[in-house]
């Protein structure tokens, strides 16, 4: 059925002027933009967003990367939006992501490199991983929209 999902175009993609390319790929897959905003999220918002990773080695680097840096947050709407967006994003680690996906075509980072440099993995986008996560994240990033 028709669903909503939450997508973040992360600071590495914004910095590389890939926002249009990334959003185009979601639109070309039939997902429509229901909300869109360039944000400079607070540390608190990013910590809450990545709550499930709190305590992991990469958590501080991940939070630092997103907090206060420009992020394009979007609500995307369409048939099976959650799964569709995840498929188009590709595997978490860009080096393992298939051709034709956002991470496969536009990224090349590895977890090994990210961990060696104590920073977040540069994988261009975040997409909510379930309808429940999508609703939770939509409320967080678009409080007026929920």
Q: Catalogue the active-site residues.
A: 126
Find the shortest distance in angstroms from Cβ 6 to ligand CMP.
Answer: 11
Q: Where are the beta strands (DSSP E) in 2-132?
A: 2-9, 32-39, 71-79, 125-127
Q: Please, which residue, 75 or 114, has the CB nearer to ligand CMP?
A: 114
Q: Please, which residue, 62 or 76, has the CB nearer to ligand CMP?
A: 62
Q: Please, which residue, 5 or 123, has the CB nearer to ligand CMP?
A: 123
- Alpha-carbon dihedral angle through residues 27, 82, 50, 89, given to the nearest 10 degrees: -50
The span from the CA of 64 to the CA of 71, in Å, is 13
Which residues here bind ligand CMP, judged by CB under 6 A? 58, 62, 92, 111, 114-115, 120-121, 123, 126
The span from the CA of 24 to the CA of 31, in Å, is 10
Find the shortest distance in angstroms from Cβ 91 to ligand CMP.
Answer: 10
Would you mind telling me the total number of residues written for the chain in this entry? Answer: 146
10 annotated to bind ligand: yes
Beta-carbon-side half-sphere exposure of residue 101 (alpha carbons within 13 Å):
23
Find the shortest distance in angstroms from Cβ 92 to ligand CMP.
Answer: 5
Are the C-beta atoms of 34 and 3 separated by less than 8 Å?
no
119 annotated to bind ligand: no
103 annotated to bind ligand: yes
Binding residues: 10, 58, 86, 92, 103, 123
Binding residues for ATP: 10, 58, 86, 92, 103, 123
């Amino acid at each position: 059925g028709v669903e909503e999902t939450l997508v973040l175009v992360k600071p590495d993609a914004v910095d590389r002027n890939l926002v249009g390319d990334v959003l185009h790929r979601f639109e070309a897959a039939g997902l429509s933009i229901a909300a869109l905003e360039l944000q400079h999220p607070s540390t608190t918002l990013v910590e809450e967003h990545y709550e499930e990773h709190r305590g992991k080695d990469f958590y501080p680097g991940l939070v630092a990367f997103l907090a206060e840096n420009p992020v394009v947050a979007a609500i995307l709407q369409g048939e099976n939006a959650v799964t569709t967006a995840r498929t188009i994003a590709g595997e978490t680690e860009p080096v393992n992501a298939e051709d034709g996906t956002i991470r496969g075509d536009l990224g090349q980072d590895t977890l090994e490199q990210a961990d060696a440099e104590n920073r977040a993995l540069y994988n261009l986008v975040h997409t909510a991983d379930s309808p429940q996560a999508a609703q939770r994240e939509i409320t967080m990033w678009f409080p007026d929209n929920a």
